Amino acid sequence: MKKIIGLVAVTIISLYAESNSKEACAKAEAKGCFNASFMYKLINKACNKGNIRACYDLGSMFEKGKGVELNQTKAVELFTNACEKNEFRACYKLGVYYLNGEVVSEEKVKASELFEKACDNDEFRACYMLGTMYEKGEGVEKDQNRAKALLQKASNAGIVEGCDSFDK
């Protein structure tokens, strides 16, 4: 129960930090800026204590510059750590970095492996990305049947892009 409450608290804190903190600091609103610093410290502390969800949330903060200074290198580092510990949303985000060659070198095979890991664990955005890779033959051998199955899986989960691709 204590663990569940901790996860809920980390989620609420990270969402609050993302939505309010940077704007407050930019407007020189002391309370909001203090909250951003406080939120960062809390999430960072949870990550350092091994809370993988917090590490993912911290990576997302650095990726978007929400509540912290934009630092995609740090985001990739945090996503890598979280993915290695089976935070599958982090595997998806890391796959996007490798697919696009942002911050890390472009490695489409590695991206496909990361998307596969995430998709196999119901991170449906990864299913969509992997489906498009099979459709185009990027990083994987072109396979329209596999592409269709993955895009259908994404579509069934409500990923709109999967629906659009599947309809073609």
Read off the pLDDT band of 165 (50, 70, 90): low
What is the reported pLDDT for 160?
Answer: 76
Inter-CA distances, 11 with 29, 54, 57, Å = 23, 8, 8
78 half-sphere exposure, CB direction, 13 A CA radius: 25
Please tell me the distance from the alpha carbon of residue 109 to that of residue 149, in angstroms, as a whole number.
19
Please tell me the distance from the alpha carbon of residue 45 to that of residue 145, in angstroms, as a whole number.
45
Domains in the chain: ranges and CATH: 1-85 (no CATH), 101-168 (1.25.40.10)
Q: Is the pLDDT of residue 17 over 50?
A: no
- For the record, the structure tokens of 151 come out as 């895009």
Neighbour count for residue 48 (Cβ, 10 Å)? 11
Q: Is the pLDDT of residue 15 over 80?
A: no
Q: Is the pLDDT of residue 77 over 70?
A: yes
Q: Is the pLDDT of residue 88 over 50?
A: yes
Q: Is the pLDDT of residue 12 over 60?
A: no
Q: What pLDDT, in 10s, does the model give residues 18-73?
A: 445 555 555 545 445 557 778 888 999 999 999 999 999 999 999 998 889 999 99
Please tell me the distance from the alpha carbon of residue 140 to that of residue 28, in angstroms, as a whole number.
49
